[in-house]
Amino acid sequence: MVQRTAPISAFRTAASGPRPLPWLAGLSASFVLLQLLLVVPGSGMGWDETVYFSQVSGELPAAFFSAPRARGISFLAAPAAALTSSITVVRVYLALLSGAGLFAALWVWRTLLPTRILFTAGALFASLWVTLFYGPTVMPNLWSAFGTLAAAGCFVRAARDRTDRRALAGLALSVVLVALMRPPDALWLVLALTAVSLAVRRWRRPVLLLLLGGALALGSAEWVIESYVRYGGLSARLHRASEIQGGMGWHMAVDDQIRSMDGRTLCRPCDVPWRHPPTALWLLALPLLTVAGVAAAPRIRRAAAAAVPAVVAAVISVPYLFLIDYAAPRFLLPAYALLALPAAEFLWWAAAGRDGRFRRARTGIVLVALTGHVAVQCAVLANTAAGSRDSRRDFSQAAASLQRMGVRPPCVLSGDHAVQLSFYTGCASRQTGGPDASITPGGLREAARQKRVAVVAPPDAETPAFARGWQHRTLPGTSRFGGYQVHLPATERAAR
């Protein structure tokens, strides 16, 4: 018995012309709307965010900027940060920008892939909890993903068509964006694209190699110059960055990434049990979907558009899967953005075959799988967003208690969670040790003569030697800071 089939109509044509515009615009608008509804309301600022945001804030002192960080995301947030420290305003601003970023990164591929593939790939990527959660945040990883996805598309276009000058310009701009956000990501990206260019004889174009190297140098210039101005040179900064990240070397972090997919924004050390296996299905299934998608690409034109993202994703994932001893789901966002393309290719092949006509049984299986994927991602996002709201409440309560103790601007905070607390109190954060060490105990005592200084410590922590003889207060409440100790210099200024 012959099954009745339905043709693909809405997504029928590929890339030429304006047909992708309404679909990709609608997808990007939906991406923004989901962020505004599910992530933005009541969300708090994370530790890394407060560091990046404070660099360009018109209201907050700049936090210590450690060696591994780059200033690209601070530059992106600067227009909003210069005007307000309102978390909601900054979140809305970045959510809108992230929608534009998703659209631009997918738009690059419109001459290479059919609209249905682009829409599906974009939906797969945009529906991940980690993509939605980091869309409105002052964090660089999603922007590195957008730049990487755009760079791969522009590279394929420029390699295939020597007259496509827009692709060359887009490739340069995309690599510069990635380098501004995360210089190591840009280095791995350039290495991957260079290897692809050299491996395919028709693509061995000197202009591509020169452009990749020049864009990497241009985008990394600020980071390199800052290395000599603030960190004692490039090698010294790289060495310090490696120390802060636990030492770059052979570390099997694949299992860490798997465990972190249950909503942990940082898993360090990642020795926690794997309690929610369904949350890792995306990560476990993605390699299989990618291989199947590359194999399913029916023409040479489509094969290149599927294979190049797979190769680049594999290369840029190396440091996060094999060279560091901890995990954060956001690290793999560039790989997820790239691999969504061959994954979408396979899903359409599985549902509709080569002739573009749906088979009921196969389509049903694909829809069930996608429904399960979205359900898992929504559950993790809801839990992670709730944790962010709880964090904001706890930090706001602790900041209010500190202000009642007289810790108001101009002031300096040190100790446990001082970086985030400084955002909520308006103080500067200065640490005497650890990766954010930026002041000595003597310097902190000297600062206490001119400003209000407070050292925050967990309930069972030993009083720092330099704070013995200071006043000791206890933070009230039942939040994460309940029972925390606050050490205040015994001066008239601090006591008021």
Q: Under a CB-based contact definition with an 8 Å cutoff, are residues 107 and 20 in contact?
A: yes
Rg of the chain in Å (alpha carbons): 25
Task: Assess whether 441 and 489 both reside in one domain.
Answer: yes
pLDDT of 496 over the 60 cut: no
Number of structural domains found in the chain: 2
pLDDT of 287 over the 50 cut: yes
Q: Please spell the DSSP secondary structure of 272-338, one letter per residue.
A: -----GGGGHHHHHHHHHHHHHHHH--SHHHHHHHHHHHHHHHHHTHHHHHS-S-B-GGGGHHHHHH
Task: Assess whether 256 and 353 both reside in one domain.
Answer: yes
- How confident is the model over 333-352, as a mean pLDDT? 94
Q: Please indicate, yes or no, if residue 126 is contained in any of the structural domains.
A: no
Please give the residue range of the domain that contains residue 290: 247-358
Q: Which residues pair with 412 in a beta bridge?
A: 428, 453
Confidence of residue 270 (pLDDT cuts 50, 70, 90): confident
Return d(Cα 421, Cα 214) in angstroms, integer. 40
66-110 pLDDT, tens digit per residue, is 999 999 999 999 999 999 999 999 999 999 999 999 999 999 999
128-160 pLDDT, tens digit per residue, is 999 999 999 999 999 999 999 999 999 999 999
Task: Assess whether 351 and 393 both reside in one domain.
Answer: no
Q: Under a CB-based contact definition with an 8 Å cutoff, are residues 330 and 139 in contact?
A: yes
Return d(Cα 338, Cα 328) in angstroms, integer. 18
Task: Assess whether 275 and 350 both reside in one domain.
Answer: yes
Q: Please indicate, yes or no, if residue 279 is contained in any of the structural domains.
A: yes
Task: Assess whether 480 and 432 both reside in one domain.
Answer: yes
Return d(Cα 126, Cα 128) in angstroms, integer. 6
Q: Please indicate, yes or no, if residue 411 is contained in any of the structural domains.
A: yes
Q: Please indicate, yes or no, if residue 221 is contained in any of the structural domains.
A: no
| pLDDT (0 to 100) of residue 9 | 38
The residue out of 306, 336, 358 marking a domain boundary is 358
Q: Please indicate, yes or no, if residue 452 is contained in any of the structural domains.
A: yes
Task: Assess whether 345 and 261 both reside in one domain.
Answer: yes
Task: Assess whether 266 and 344 both reside in one domain.
Answer: yes
Q: Please indicate, yes or no, if residue 274 is contained in any of the structural domains.
A: yes
191-246 pLDDT, tens digit per residue, is 999 999 999 999 999 999 999 999 999 999 999 999 999 999 999 999 999 998 88
Q: Please indicate, yes or no, if residue 17 is contained in any of the structural domains.
A: no
